[in-house]
Structure 1
Amino acid sequence: MSDQPAVVREGPLAEIVVDVAAIRHNVRVLRELVGVPLIAVVKADGYGHGMVEAARAARDGGAEWLATATVDEALTLRASGYAGPLLCWLMLPGVDLERPLLEGIDVTAYSVAGIDVTAYSVAELDAIAAAAEAVGRRARVQLKVDTGLSRGGAPRSTWADLFARARAGEREGSWKVTGLWSHFACSDEPDHPANDRQERAFLAAVALAADSGLEPGLLHLANSAAAVLRPSSRFGAVRCGIAVYGLDPAPGRTPDLGLVPAMTVRTRLALVKELAPGDGVSYGHRWVADRPTTVGLVPVGYGDGIPRHAFHPGGSAEVAVGGKRRPIRGSVCMDQVMVDLGGDTAAIGDEVVLFGSGPGVPTAQDWAEACGTINYEIVTRIGGRMTRTYVDSEADR
Structure 2
Amino acid sequence: MRRSEISIDLSVVRDNTERIVQLIGASELWAVVKANAYGHGAVLVARAALEAGAKALCVATVEEGLELRQHFHRARIIVMGAVASADVQQARQGRLECMAYDEVSLRILGRERVRIHIKINLGLNRWGLSELPKSLPASAVGLFGQFSHAHSDRQLTLKQLDQFKSQAHEAPGLTRHVANSSATFEVPDSHLDAVRCGSSLLGLSLSPSLRQKFPMRPALRWASYLAHTRRLSPGEGVGYDATYVAPAPMMMGVVPVGYGDGFSARLAGTTVLVGDEPALVIGAISADAFAVALNRPIPTGTPVTLVGDGIRLEDHLEFAHMTNWELCTALPTDQRRVYRSSLLDGQESRTTACT
Q: Same fold (TM over 0.5)?
A: yes
Aligned-residue offset at 1:395: 5.8
Separation in 2 of the partners of 1:180 and 1:248?
26
Separation in 2 of the partners of 1:259 and 1:83?
29
Do the aligned residues in 2 keep the contact of 1:224 with 1:249 (CA within 8 Å)? no
Separation in 2 of the partners of 1:82 and 1:33?
28
Q: How does 1:5-154 map to 2 (within 5 A)?
A: 9=1, 12-35=2-25, 36-103=27-94, 114-130=95-111, 132=112, 138-154=113-129
Aligned-residue offset at 1:242: 0.7
Do the aligned residues in 2 keep the contact of 1:38 with 1:63 (CA within 8 Å)? yes
Aligned-residue offset at 1:209: 3.0
Do the aligned residues in 2 keep the contact of 1:364 with 1:375 (CA within 8 Å)? no
Do the aligned residues in 2 keep the contact of 1:297 with 1:338 (CA within 8 Å)? yes
Which residue is equivalent to 2:321? Answer: 372
Aligned-residue Cα RMSD (Å) equals 1.7
Separation in 2 of the partners of 1:126 and 1:185?
27
Aligned-residue offset at 1:122: 1.8
Which residue is equivalent to 1:351? Answer: 303
Identity %: 30
Separation in 2 of the partners of 1:163 and 1:118?
17
Do the aligned residues in 1 keep the contact of 2:101 with 2:127 (CA within 8 Å)? yes
1:265 matched to 2:231? The reply is no
> What are the ranges of 5 or more consecutive residues in structure 2 without an aligned counterpart?
349-355
Aligned-residue offset at 1:23: 0.5
Q: Which moved more, 1:86-95 or 1:68-77?
A: 86-95
Do the aligned residues in 2 keep the contact of 1:299 with 1:337 (CA within 8 Å)? yes
Do the aligned residues in 1 keep the contact of 2:7 with 2:222 (CA within 8 Å)? yes
Q: Residues 118 and 37 (structure 1 numbering): CA distance in 2 closer, same or farther, change over 3 Å? A: same
Aligned-residue offset at 1:250: 2.0
Separation in 1 of the partners of 2:197 and 2:32?
6
Separation in 1 of the partners of 2:134 and 2:228?
63
Which residue is equivalent to 1:205? Answer: 167
Separation in 2 of the partners of 1:336 and 1:325?
18
Do the aligned residues in 2 keep the contact of 1:38 with 1:238 (CA within 8 Å)? yes
Do the aligned residues in 1 keep the contact of 2:275 with 2:305 (CA within 8 Å)? no
SS at 1:277's partner residue? coil
Which residue is equivalent to 1:332? Answer: 285
Do the aligned residues in 1 keep the contact of 2:225 with 2:304 (CA within 8 Å)? yes
Instruction: Give the structure-2-normalised TM-score.
Output: 0.92
Do the aligned residues in 2 keep the contact of 1:69 with 1:90 (CA within 8 Å)? yes
Separation in 2 of the partners of 1:318 and 1:388?
22
Q: Which moved more, 1:86-95 or 1:178-187?
A: 86-95
Separation in 2 of the partners of 1:55 and 1:93?
25
> What are the ranges of 5 or more consecutive residues in structure 1 without an aligned counterpart?
1-8, 104-113, 133-137
Aligned-residue offset at 1:185: 0.7
Aligned-residue offset at 1:78: 0.5
Q: Which moved more, 1:70-79 or 1:182-191?
A: 182-191
Aligned-residue offset at 1:267: 1.2
Deviation readout 1:36-83 (Å, 9 max, x if unpaired): 210110000011000000100111121111100101101000012342
Aligned-residue offset at 1:249: 3.7
Q: How does 1:142-181 map to 2 (within 5 A)?
A: 142-154=117-129, 156=130, 159-160=131-132, 162-164=133-135, 166=136, 169-170=137-138, 175=139, 177-181=140-144
Letter in 1 for 2:160: Q
**Partner of residue 151 from structure 2, selected from 181, 185, 188:** 188
Do the aligned residues in 1 keep the contact of 2:60 with 2:81 (CA within 8 Å)? yes
Do the aligned residues in 1 keep the contact of 2:148 with 2:157 (CA within 8 Å)? yes
Separation in 2 of the partners of 1:246 and 1:146?
28
Separation in 2 of the partners of 1:297 and 1:264?
20
State how many pairs are aligned: 344
Do the aligned residues in 1 keep the contact of 2:9 with 2:346 (CA within 8 Å)? no
